[in-house]
Each structure stands twice: as C-alpha cells, then as structure tokens.
Amino acid sequence: MSLPIAVEQPARWNPFFSFENLLSAVALSMMTLLPVSEMVTRQFHWGGITGAAVIVQQLTLWIGFLGAALAARSGNLLSLSASTFLPERLRAPGRIVAFAVLASVSLCLAWASLEYVQVEKQAGSWVLQDVLPKWVAIVIMPIGFTLIAVRAVWLANPLWKGRALAAIGLLIPLGLYYAGTPAPLPIFQIGLLVLFCSTLLGLPIFAVFGGFALLMFWQAGTPIASVPVEMYRLVASPLLPSIPLFTFAGYLMVKGGATKRFLRVFAALFSWAPGGMAIVTVVICAIFTWGGSGLTILSLGGLLVPVLIRARYPEQFSIGLLTASGSLGLLFPPSLPVILYGVYAATPIDRLFIGGLLPGLLMVTLAAAMGIRQGIKSETVRDKFSLHEAGAAMWEAKWELLLPVIMLVGLFGGFGTLTEAAALTALATLFVETVIYRGISLRRDYTLVCVECATVVGGILLILGVALGFTNYLVDAEIPSRIVDWVQAHIHSKYVFLLALNACLLVVGSLMDIFAAILVIVPLLKPLTAAYGIDPVQMGIIFLANLELGYLMPPVGINLCLAAYRFEKPMFTVYRALLPFLLVLLCGVLLITYVPWMTTAPLRWLGK
C-alpha cells in the first residue's frame, strides 16, 4: 500500500485550487473552535452554540470530501503498490487503465450521491431544524466524487492521447445504466475481473471498495444510493470528528518544528547509553505515530536516518529501524485506529487505551533492544550525559511536552467528549506552535498545513465511507454468520483460532489500509470473539497489534512502500533491512496474543 507521490502542481495561480484550499482551512478551523467553545461554555454554565456538535459532524463530511478532492488533485489517494513490480514499459498503460476505472467508479458514486441528495431534498429532511437542510449538508458528496472522476482522467497520463483513453471510463456508468437491474451475470463477472486487475495496477483503495460495493448492490437489485447512505451514516458517530482533529494537532507539531526539539530532549536523555540514538529514534517515532506511518516515515526519515548513520549505525540497519518504528505508537493515545476500532466494535475507548499500554511498551522495548544490540556491535558514538543539556533541552520543549498532558486530561479527565478533547489538543498545539515557538506563520503557513492535513484525512475518510457500504452488503448477505459457522465447525481450540487469526490479519494488514480493515473485518470478527470466549478488549489489542505489524509485511505493506520512496531504495533492499525487526516484532505480537495478562492486568489495576 502506498501514499502516492504528490504530482507537481502548475506554478501559475489557480483560483479554483485557492478556493479549495481556503474552504478546507475554514472547515478545519471551525471544527477546532466549535467543540472548544462548547467545552468552555459548559464549564461556566453559559448558553452554548445551538447544534454545535451536529455542525461539527457535518463539517467532518465536508473535510472528508474536500480532502479527497485535494488528494485526487495531487495524486495522493491511497492505493496498493503492486504496480511498482510491473516492467517499466507497462506502467504507463497500467496507470491509464487504473485511472479509467477510478474515473468510472467515482462517477458512479457521484451519480448515486446525487440520487441521495434528490431524495433528501424531496423529503424535506433537516440536519438542524430550520437552520441546515440535509440536502445542503450532503451536496458535497456528488461534488467531491465528480472532482475525483475528472482529476483521475487528467492525471492518468501527461499526454492528451492517454487522457482520452482514460476518459472512456466516464462512459461506463451509462452502459451500466442501460444494462438494467439486476446486473446481467456476464457483465457482473467482467466487472469483478476488471476491478481485481485494476487493484493490482494501482486503483485507489476507496475505489476498490466502492467498485465492489456498487457491483454487489447492482447484482442484488439494491439501489446504488445505498453506498452514499452508508457513508453518511458513518458521520453520525459523535466520535468520528476526533480523527481529523488529532491528525491536525499532529501536523501542527511536525510543521512547527516539534520533532527537532523532541530529538534534542531524547538525545540528551539517552545518547549516553549503548544504542542511545536508536532508542531515541524508536521513542520519537512512537510519539508521533498519531494516525499511521506516513507522517512518521516521510517527515522524520530525513532527520533521523542521517543522525543514526553519523553515529556509526549501518545504513541498512538505520533504514530498517526507522521503517519498523514507523507504526509503533498505534496502541498509545490518541491513536486514531484505536478510536475507530472502539467506535465500530462498541468497545470503550478508554479501556482499549489502557489495555494497549503494556503491549505497546513491549513492541517499543523490542525495537529499542534491537537498537541497543546493534549499538554495542557497531561501537556507535555515545555522548556523555550532561544534566545541563538535558535541563536546557526540556526547558526549550516544555510547552510541547505539556501537550500530551492536555490531551490525556481531555481524554480521561471527564471534562468533555473525545471530540472536544481532540479540538482542545489541536487548539493548544496551534497556540504553542504559532505564538510561543513561532514555527508556523498564520499568514504564510496555516492554510498550507490545513491543506496537507485535509488531504491525508480525506483519503482516510473516503476509504472509511465506501468500506462501510461494502461491509453493509456483507452483513445483509449474512457473510459473518456463515464464517462463524464454518470456523467453529473446523477449529475447536481457541489457541489454534488465535494463531489462524494472526496469519489472516497479517495478510490483511499487508494489503489493506488499517482504517478500511477495521470497517471490513470487525463485523466478521465480533461474533467469533464471542464464540471463543475472548475478552473484547484483548481481541481489539490483538487485532490492532497484528495490523500494526502488517504495515511491515511484504509485498506491499505501507511502511515498506513509504520507506522505499523516502530513502530512494529498491523494495527488496527495504525487505532485507526490515527482516530482523519483522521477526522480533512478530514474537511480540505472539506474546500479546497468547499472554492475555498483558492486556487485562492494567484494567484490573485501574478498576476498569
């Protein structure tokens, strides 16, 4: 899986692009300010803003589709990276095919969304009574999908001939319309084959799920508007806005220079020890893995790998360490996958974070131990511990060191909802980085930071939305119950089941984005959890730990692809660099799976 390389934009000023950027910044700013205002007014018993929580939920939908359009504009829609294994001469034709299918699926989804808008407009539904009609709130859906379809054609090829071939994909929805409902079996089978081949050629993940969902609903005779309906249902979760807000806070910290100040702090604290800089790398990556590996590897790779090499760590080891560390923080607050898993599996989020504490520390410790071993073996550079330098570094970074405290108090202190805690964290981070450290200029940098954040968030939320539509079809078709019956008939031991589950989740993690995997796999997993008597929190940690490791699994785990791009190395070079870490961390995942005490003991200690 990959975050495709951004396509260079024209140097000439584009008013529509500027409008998109500004609208994204305004929506993200309102999402940050409204929950904080609600938190403050509630503490002082003042009257809050009417429907603020509902408005924030609708803004999440807008940020999702604005960000998806921005991601399509720059070529940043998440996709599998199998196309990188194609011969060079086949990559351009393969890209045209994949983007033609992307244009076709996006236009079908735009059509389905437009039907949804028309139905809600005729029904006279309101999101906020007498203030916001529902059709106005959801009109961004057909607009967003249409923009993605048009941009898919434009980015398919730099030549007009290639774009014309990709534009053929825009005609496919018309053919499907005249084919009638339900879909004729030969056309349905051809559609499945085209989607499968396009996935290998680099079709974005949202289009894979969206395409399969559309085909399944079409074959079943169900209106395709069911897909956007399910997408909108996702927005109804009051916890979903925390995903863009925590991501925004993470981007602000990175763009404001927090990584350099944290590097100084941890270097002062650990660089005297054997493998000290390796420990620093692992800890910083764990701290900044807010929602995935992309931000960590892409933003910290150029900073940390040269530092490791200067300290006499081998280059291959340094790349392997950073790649392996890129997802180590996924079990710690405020991990976005943990939040989404808690929402979708109906498992208390605070219990998941507490249950994931020891397993998360185990994975960090194993990676750090590999660094200590290599540090001793290579006789790496070690600095003398300086109390003065440690104190000076911590004093310089004191405000950013306080931000996790604000986040944890907001999460567990009972002062507000998860969304309000996320908004408070984002607003505090904005103040620290713009007013105190001045690493971000509101006039020069703020809109660009918002655009980068919206681009990543849009790609994630778009996958979540269409994956939910696909999952809804699986549930309607009673797939989960059939799987439960089959598994129970063939696997009688809980421990054999857990081993098989590990293997399956590692494969899923290597091929599928973690957010989409949660929406697709959790409905299949919940009945199995009950059938084998596994604690729901333990199952959540097992699930997330396996998908965390799935980022490192060949052939196309996302960390592998990002590292190959960031360090300009062939994929097989990254495979070799990562293999020792993969084996050690796999042992950690097996311990997490078969030693439930690691998950359940902290819950007992804290009375949870």
Hey, where are the domains in the chain? Answer: 15-235, 242-608
DSSP 87: -
Gap between the Cα atoms of 364 and 109, Å rounded: 42
Cβ burial 514-552 (10 Å sphere, 16+ → b, else e):
bbbbbbbbbbbbbbbbeebebbbbbbbbbbbbbbbbbbb
Gap between the Cα atoms of 430 and 448, Å rounded: 14
- Spatial neighbors of 60 by CB under 8 A, at least 6 apart, are 31, 235, 240, 241, 243, 244, 461
pTM: 0.87
pLDDT at 53: 87
- Spatial neighbors of 122 by CB under 8 A, at least 6 apart, are none
- Spatial neighbors of 550 by CB under 8 A, at least 6 apart, are 505, 506, 507, 508, 509, 510, 514, 557
Cα 298 to Cα 249, 370, 509, distances in angstroms: 17, 22, 20
pLDDT at 11: 46
Q: Each residue of 73-118: pLDDT tens digit?
A: 988 787 765 555 667 788 889 899 999 999 999 999 999 999 999 9
Cα 472 to Cα 133, 231, 264, 512, distances in angstroms: 26, 10, 48, 18
- Spatial neighbors of 499 by CB under 8 A, at least 6 apart, are 593
pLDDT at 183: 67
CA dihedral 24, 29, 35, 40 (to 10 degrees): -170
Q: What are the two backbone dihedrals, phi and then psi, of residue 568, each rounded to the nearest 5 degrees?
A: 55, 50
Q: Which helix (H) or strand (E) is 466 found in, with range?
A: helix 446-476
Q: Report residue 150 as tokens.
A: 């048009």
Q: Report residue 528 as tokens.
A: 């199995």
pLDDT at 315: 92
Residue 525: left (phi > 0), alpha (psi -120 to 50), or beta? alpha
CB 341 within 8 A of CB 540: yes
pLDDT at 10: 44
Q: Which residues of the chain have pLDDT under 50?
A: 1-11
pLDDT at 8: 39
Q: Each residue of 149-177: pLDDT tens digit?
A: 999 999 999 999 999 999 998 888 777 66
Q: Which helix (H) or strand (E) is 251 found in, with range?
A: helix 242-255
pLDDT at 178: 65
Gap between the Cα atoms of 110 and 399, Å rounded: 45
Q: Report residue 423 as tokens.
A: 């908004």
| Sign of the dihedral through C-alpha 217, 218, 223, 225 | positive
Gap between the Cα atoms of 553 and 531, Å rounded: 29
Cα 170 to Cα 79, 177, 281, 466, distances in angstroms: 20, 12, 47, 19
Gap between the Cα atoms of 117 and 115, Å rounded: 5
pLDDT at 365: 96
pLDDT at 177: 65
Residue from 513, 443, 451 nearest 6 by CA: 451
pLDDT at 362: 96
pLDDT at 169: 87
Residue 126: left (phi > 0), alpha (psi -120 to 50), or beta? beta
Gap between the Cα atoms of 32 and 309, Å rounded: 40
How many residues are listed for the chain in this entry?
A: 608
